[in-house]
Amino acid sequence: MTILQVGAAVLRRRADHVDPDKLTSPKLGELIEVLRAGLVETPGVGLAAPQIGVSLRVALIQDPPQFHARVSEDRLAELERTAVEPYILINPEIEPVGDERRTFFEGCLSVDGYCALVERAKTVRVRWLDPSGDYHEALQSGWHARILQHEIDHLNGILYVDRMLPRSFMTTLNYADWVDEPLDKVRAVFGV
């Protein structure tokens, strides 16, 4: 499986709606398995179908506990980050809830080797179908909400670089120097 990189046209168009009558199709089942395998092969917290060249409104979200092992308890609390078991969203809709916004670094498997500060809604309401056709609605906050916004952006042809604070854009190698620094210090140094 190849994860497409920025510049691939499919990453910049709104993905096609999945016909609910096709939820049990072998083709959709294969796509879901490829997404699951993709996040095993290239660990990340989410993967959207356009990232593997399929223009359908399907995404996989996860934040396994093993990803938290390398993050301090204080940082996990600041990010409001808790474990998220893998799940599939089909035809998701998302909306911010409240006015509170949070700014943190984000990276993307389709913008490999870079990251930047991105401001996003702290809390969102998301609605979706699962692969069985069951409807779900949930209110999510913190890091889980950030993952949802990032992946659903992919389904709308939006990359985090479209939302980033441009002066904070950096390589992931340089990010290692800033990951644990207070946001106020990062903002002051980079003028964001």
- Give domain status of residue 136, yes or no: yes
CB atoms under 10 Å from CB of 5, counted, come to: 14
Longest Cα–Cα distance of the chain, Å, equals 52
Active-site positions?
151
Q: How many domains does the chain have?
A: 1
- What's the CA angle centered on 88, arms 132 and 62, to 5 degrees? 145
**What gap in Å lies between CA 192 and CA 184, rounded to an integer?**
9
- Give domain status of residue 163, yes or no: no
pLDDT band at 155, cuts 50/70/90? very high
CATH number of the domain bearing residue 80: 3.90.45.10
pLDDT tops 90 at residue 116: yes
- Give domain status of residue 72, yes or no: yes
Q: State the average pLDDT over residues 39-43.
A: 87
- Give domain status of residue 103, yes or no: no
Tell me the per-residue pLDDT of 64-112, one tens digit each, with 9 for 90 and over.
999 999 888 998 999 999 999 999 999 999 999 999 999 999 999 999 9
pLDDT band at 123, cuts 50/70/90? very high
- Give domain status of residue 2, yes or no: no
Q: Which domain holds residue 56?
A: 9-98+122-158
CB 48 within 8 A of CB 110: no
**What gap in Å lies between CA 82 and CA 75, rounded to an integer?**
11
pLDDT tops 90 at residue 136: yes
CB atoms under 10 Å from CB of 143, counted, come to: 20
CB 148 within 8 A of CB 124: yes
